[in-house]
Amino acid sequence: MDKQIILLPGDGIGREIMESAKLVLTAIAMEYNHKFTFHEHAIGGDAIDKYGVPLPEDTVNACSSADAILLGAVGGPKWDSIPVHLRPEKGLLGIRKSLGLFANLRPVKGFASLLHASPLKEEIIKDSDIMIVRELTGGLYFGQPSERRENGNVVVDTLYYHRTEMERIIEKGFQSARIRNKHLTSVDKANVLESSRMWREIVNEKAKDYPDVTVEHLLVDAAAMKLITQPNQFDVIVTENLFGDILSDEASVLTGSLGMLPSASVRTDGVGLYEPVHGSAPDIAGKDTANPLGMILSAALMLRYSFGLEEEASEIESAVNECMEQGYHTADLKLNGGKQVSTKKMTEIVLGNLTTKRISDSICNSYV
Ligand SMILES: NC(=O)c1ccc[n+]([C@@H]2O[C@H](COP(=O)([O-])OP(=O)(O)OC[C@H]3O[C@@H](n4cnc5c(N)ncnc54)[C@H](O)[C@@H]3O)[C@@H](O)[C@H]2O)c1
Ligand SMILES: CC(C)[C@H](C(=O)O)[C@@H](O)C(=O)O
Ligand SMILES: [Mg+2]
């Protein structure tokens, strides 16, 4: 298989973890005889520094003709004084919007050997396996007007959704539930927001097309509580943009660290942008301590969803699982015992676990 992959490392730990994903994909390409060609482009603060804008036209053009895109993270204190409409984060919002990537899939499944890494009790998180389906190109993030008025004393952010934007993401939620455990939790704030009233109406209409899927409506505040008290009651969560952003960071606690969570931002034709759920982690950037696994697992999602390479994707996921079982972890996973390693070392261990299946144990041992 011959694929053109755009790499957008971005800011902070973005470049460090992107290097990890690139090495893993290169190893997979060698093993399976694929040709992955990588093209790096600027986004976020990196693009502001180089070109004065968070999303250069050249980056958009390259992404538009690529087979898939990997993104590290954007943002950081260096760009804090920049007005909101020019900030690094606008580069990320801009690329999602211009490519029409309306569905953000955030699987939250802890590794069995990491159950004790979560601050939550093992009996609560055991067996939890959730897919968060987050709307990604509408809502408060993109509402117009969005401005300061009356000498800066009044601020306006608009929560705008068209019915069709809700329909397509809710449909995605039902489809995902149908191929998983057939339970859909729709999260909204229908006791307060007009947008949530329409959201709930659409969920109820669509439910008629999916009689095999059970549907539950939860208000977002209660959902936030239930996510960490009864996580195994969830299968698929479908929700709008801002609620999905907040709930996915919260859900990462189930896995032991935000650094573990991958995500896929897709549209209906298979084109996708793959990015870890976490941000640029400025507090640990450049220290070789970041957890690269959310990024590596995002690369696995790319192979599965954009290229249909299920075996290769599963091989990466198994290699990551093996690292956990071998007791390796980066500093973000607060474990008693185990072997704490750097970003680079963790990447080498994943690579070693990949090749053990095809080469030999002795090569793997040279990494550890
Ligand atoms: N997709 C993205 O590009 C994205 C996502 C979220 C936040 N951001 C941006 O990142 C910047 C920092 O935001 P923040 O601090 O609120 O969130 P963050 O996700 O960057 O960090 C939150 C905490 O988690 C830790 N963390 C995150 N990823 C980690 C990893 N892979 N390994 C180890 N520890 C990790 C950080 O050290 C920090 O303590 C902001 O500019 C924000 O807008 C970008
Ligand atoms: C950086 C920010 C714009 C982004 C979002 O809110 O979508 C991030 O938090 C995420 O979860 O991908
Ligand atoms: Mg977020």
pLDDT of 154-204, one tens digit each? Answer: 999 999 999 999 999 999 999 999 999 999 999 999 999 999 999 999 999
pLDDT value for 367 = 34
pLDDT band for position 49 (50/70/90)?
Answer: very high
Model's pTM, two decimal places? Answer: 0.96
Note the ipTM here. 0.99
pLDDT value for 85 = 87
Topology classification of domain 119-255? Isopropylmalate Dehydrogenase (3.40.718)
pLDDT value for 362 = 40
Parse the chain into domains and list their residue ranges.
Answer: 1-111+260-368, 119-255
28 — phi, psi (to 5°)? -65, -40
Q: What average pLDDT score do residues 268-293 get? A: 96
Distance (angstroms) between ligand 3 centre and the Cα of 277 equals 6
Ligand nearest to the backbone CA of 97:
2
pLDDT tops 60 at residue 299: yes
- Please say whether the beta carbons of 275 and 247 come within 8 A: no
- Hey, do 1-111+260-368 and 119-255 end up sharing a CATH topology, with the first three levels equal? yes
Distance (angstroms) between ligand 1 centre and the Cα of 183 equals 30
pLDDT value for 356 = 53
End-to-end CA distance of the chain: 32
Q: pLDDT tens digit string along 75-127?
A: 999 999 999 889 999 999 999 999 999 999 999 998 888 888 888 888 888 88
Active site residue 221: yes
Active site residue 46: no
Active site residue 141: yes
Catalytic residue among 11, 67, 235, 245: 245
Distance (angstroms) between ligand 3 centre and the Cα of 88 equals 14
pLDDT tops 60 at residue 359: no
238 — phi, psi (to 5°)? -115, 135
Catalytic residue among 3, 22, 172, 189: 189
CATH of 1-111+260-368, one of 3.40.718.10, 3.20.20.80, 1.10.3720.10, 3.30.70.20: 3.40.718.10
Q: Which atom of ligand 1 is least distant from the CA of 295? A: 31
Q: Considering the chain, what is the average pLDDT of its residues?
A: 94
Distance (angstroms) between ligand 2 centre and the Cα of 23 equals 25
Residues with CB under 6 A from ligand 2: 75, 89, 92-93, 245, 277, 279
Percentage of residues in the chain having pLDDT higher than 90: 88
Percentage of residues in the chain having pLDDT higher than 70: 96
Q: Which atom of ligand 2 is least distant from the CA of 74? A: 1
Q: What average pLDDT score do residues 233-249 get? A: 98
Mutate to test the pocket of ligand 1, among 15, 74, 258 (most ligand atoms within 8 A of CB): 258
